[in-house]
Amino acid sequence: MNKHVMNEAIGETRLDRGTQGVIGKGVDRYEGKLKVSGLAPYAYEHLAGEDVAYGFVVPGAIGRGAIKSVDASKAEALPGVLAVISGDKITRASSQPMAPAAQTIDGEVFHYNQPVALVIADSFETARHASHLVKVEYEAKKGRYDITARETVREPDPMPMEPVNERGDFEKAFAAAEVQFDETYTTPSYHAAAMEPHASVAKFDGDTLTVWTSCQLLESGVGQIAAGAGIDQEKVRVHSPYIGGGFGSKLGTSPDAVLSALGAMTVGKPVKIALTRQNVFQATSRRGETIQRIRIGATRDGKIACFAHECDTTNSPGNGFFEPSGISSVFLYAGKDRRIAHNLVETDCLMTSAVRAPGEATGMLATEGALDELADRLGIDPIEFREMNEPEVNPQDDTPFSSRKLIECMDEGAKRFGWDKRPATPASRREGEWLIGYGMASASRANSLMQSSAEIEMSPDGRATVRTAMTDIGTGTYTILQQIAAEMLGLPLDQVDVELGDTALPPSSGSGGSWGANSAGSSVYVAAEAVIAQFAKRLDVEADTLTLKDGHAIAGNRQIPFSEILNGESLSVTGTIEPGDTSESTHQASYGAHFCEVAVNAVTGETRIRRLLTVGAAGRILNLKTATSQCYGGQIWGIGYALEEELVIDTRNGLLVNHDLAEYHVPVHADVPKLDVVLLEERDRYASPLAGKGIGELAIAGVGAAINNAIYNATGVRVRDYPITMDKLLAGLPDDIDAAA
């Protein structure tokens, strides 16, 4: 085992030399042809053509209470039904990757449409029909479904950050401030709504349980499935080679994974379960709704003296995760006296969990709106206001930044966007019925490096194969790992194969938190360094003097093909990356800035986004095409959060009312303008051997605020309750504004 611990900054590496010329390039996806031809098997498509059974979930019909009885006699009498599983075998699955185990429901109903039974039949149609024949008798209890009621408030677990961060005496500093800003912003609950529904196929051979599932972090999935199925972890193998989107909802296991395993062990044949779209919305996880109070004390000339971001969010009983809306507020702007605090309001609704950019996606809707509002009150340009409050070190604990190009992102974006043409006065520019406005917002996403391992096997002909239990959720992991190995080893891309998504392979960081590419990629880097060391040893030269290109090693005046070095043998090494001192000695984050132009109809309140530009800096960009694509996705999602997305909770019973894609509105083609993304050149030597940082979640952070700020510039109307729907805008517009044309 070859291991590298990040205890100090990394100097120039083989990636910087660019000898092979593939790293960073926007090369096509390694698995692209398989996907467009329909040959890339997703979870539900495994065991095609084999004799399998099908499972269908019976959802609970109350919001909170107890199960008195389950009568499955009519369902079991239906021809083709193999079994009905209910009682203490039904687990309360967790989307939290660090959850120790799935919990049995023990006859309790924790939220509306919670799975209470599973029907297994020889066809999907029979299982679905039989599920309606299962009769469940309940004893309903009073539930808590409204965050604003604050019936039960508790301190959340320190996950994914410490819930309270303080420095100095904020209240005293705020009371003494020359200018006091105090506003509250609210965001609704959201759903990940990945294109691929949560689905699993399980097969039990009497000793070993194999599960093909859609899961972002495979190692934690093994433990959760084993606990739910009552089998030793060593006897569980999980596959997830292709995932049709996860966005956090697939970090841990969902009910389908555990229930398919239980089903296979019960009926003695493989069992397939694909959750319906309604099941996905009602029985997996969601983003918690938030109430965020922003208080900023400043001088009259625009210097921030103190900063507070206090947040209420929700989760269900037994779950300590909270939406960390203040995660960027800890480090983004100056302010000597600070308070970043979170409360968890317990509700009897579907559990909340991580959704793409947990914290930043909701928190920056509030903070970046607040910065814009305060700049407007002070009569200072929003970019100038942000730049004059740029901290030199992390303002929470004085830790130096590993790298930080926020100002460069804002300046480059302003130049490209034409910020100098922004209407100086809100509601001052019109085109017929349309009011035109510009807005901007900062973007940030904290960076993490996670332990991860990968194997590189060199075959006798000099071809390389990368193997790791890493997953690809559509972000381009296959391609990025191929590029890293090819650049390090001096191989053409078509001479590198990649195998992912199998827990029999070296354990990986998994996909989540924008740590995947850097963590898994760094493990490939370490493994490649070990291969190079082996080559150098066989050639009796120093590794640093060895140049690798096009499948040849070049040392001195010799050029030796890899096949000759390997001498008819294969070579296999495993590399592991671990976070070290640099994670504590520096503050690491990716940064960016969003710029938006909107047109708002003065008669109807309709908002149309005309232009959207994102400028980002995330260390070394490993693949320009996939990184840009990730940013497009973040921009589109930001449009949804600004204008459309809202998971509506019936506060009488906790039912998620709009539980499908017909009523949970996400942006469509007509909502999205031509998008523009610019990624600045940067190297963060403290972040990883690759000198890169996470980018997948950076691009969603702040987009909605930039849109909201543009809407204010267009109309003079501030909306602090997301989404910004037409009724909210019309309520703020003056009655005679349509006559002002």
| pLDDT at res. 651 | 97
Both tokens assigned to 52: 């399998």
Let me know whether 435 and 571 are in one domain: no
Let me know whether 610 and 701 are in one domain: yes
Where a domain ends, among 535, 562, 579? 579
Look up the CATH number of the domain holding residue 33: 3.30.365.10
| pLDDT at res. 557 | 85
**501: in domain:** yes
* Neighbouring C-beta atoms of residue 682, cutoff 10 Å: 21
Where a domain ends, among 579, 604, 626? 579
Contacts of 400 (CB under 8 A, 6+ apart): 393, 394, 585, 586, 587
Let me know whether 378 and 444 are in one domain: yes
| pLDDT at res. 88 | 80
- Name the percent of the chain lying above pLDDT 90: 95
Number of domains in the chain: 2
How many angstroms separate the CA atoms of 708 and 437, rounded? 10
| pLDDT at res. 734 | 83
Give the domain extent around 561: 2-40+456-579
| pLDDT at res. 739 | 52
Let me know whether 544 and 403 are in one domain: no
How many angstroms separate the CA atoms of 272 and 212, rounded? 9
Q: What angle do CA 335, 341, 347 make, to 5 degrees?
A: 155
Let me know whether 621 and 572 are in one domain: no
1 band by pLDDT with thresholds 50, 70 and 90: confident
Let me know whether 525 and 646 are in one domain: no
**539: in domain:** yes
Picking from 522, 505, 577, the residue whose alpha carbon sits closest to that of residue 240 is 505
**457-504: per-residue pLDDT in tens?**
999 999 999 999 999 999 999 999 999 999 999 999 999 999 999 999
How many angstroms separate the CA atoms of 368 and 302, rounded? 15
Strands 589-601 and 571-579: unpaired
> Quick check: 288 and 323 in contact, CB under 8 A?
yes
Where a domain ends, among 579, 598, 613? 579
**240: in domain:** no
Written as one letter, the residue type at 542 is: E
Let me know whether 524 and 420 are in one domain: no
Q: Which class for 12: exposed (0-12), middle (13-18), buried (19 or more C-beta within 10 A)?
A: exposed
159 band by pLDDT with thresholds 50, 70 and 90: confident
**713: in domain:** yes
**53: in domain:** no
| pLDDT at res. 97 | 57
Picking from 65, 121, 57, 61, the residue whose alpha carbon sits closest to that of residue 90 is 57
| pLDDT at res. 94 | 59
Annotated catalytic residue 697: yes
For residue 100, pLDDT beyond 50: no
Let me know whether 668 and 608 are in one domain: yes
Crossing angle between the packed helical segments 360-378 and 703-715, to the nearest 10 degrees: 30
The mean per-residue pLDDT over the stretch 54-60 comes to 97
736 band by pLDDT with thresholds 50, 70 and 90: confident
Let me know whether 430 and 366 are in one domain: yes
**562-575: per-residue pLDDT in tens?**
999 999 999 999 99
**466: in domain:** yes
Let me know whether 651 and 539 are in one domain: no
What's the sign of the alpha-carbon dihedral 602, 607, 613, 616? positive
Picking from 533, 237, 248, the residue whose alpha carbon sits closest to that of residue 362 is 248
95 band by pLDDT with thresholds 50, 70 and 90: low
β-bridge mates for residue 443, sequence order: 592
**378: in domain:** yes
98 band by pLDDT with thresholds 50, 70 and 90: very low
Q: Which of 323, 360, 455, 697 is catalytic?
A: 697
Let me know whether 614 and 716 are in one domain: yes
**625: in domain:** yes
Let me know whether 547 and 639 are in one domain: no
> Quick check: 211 and 236 in contact, CB under 8 A?
yes
**DSSP, res 32:** H
Contacts of 676 (CB under 8 A, 6+ apart): 416, 611, 612, 613, 614
**310-354: per-residue pLDDT in tens?**
999 999 999 999 999 999 999 999 999 999 999 999 999 999 999
> Quick check: 498 and 531 in contact, CB under 8 A?
no
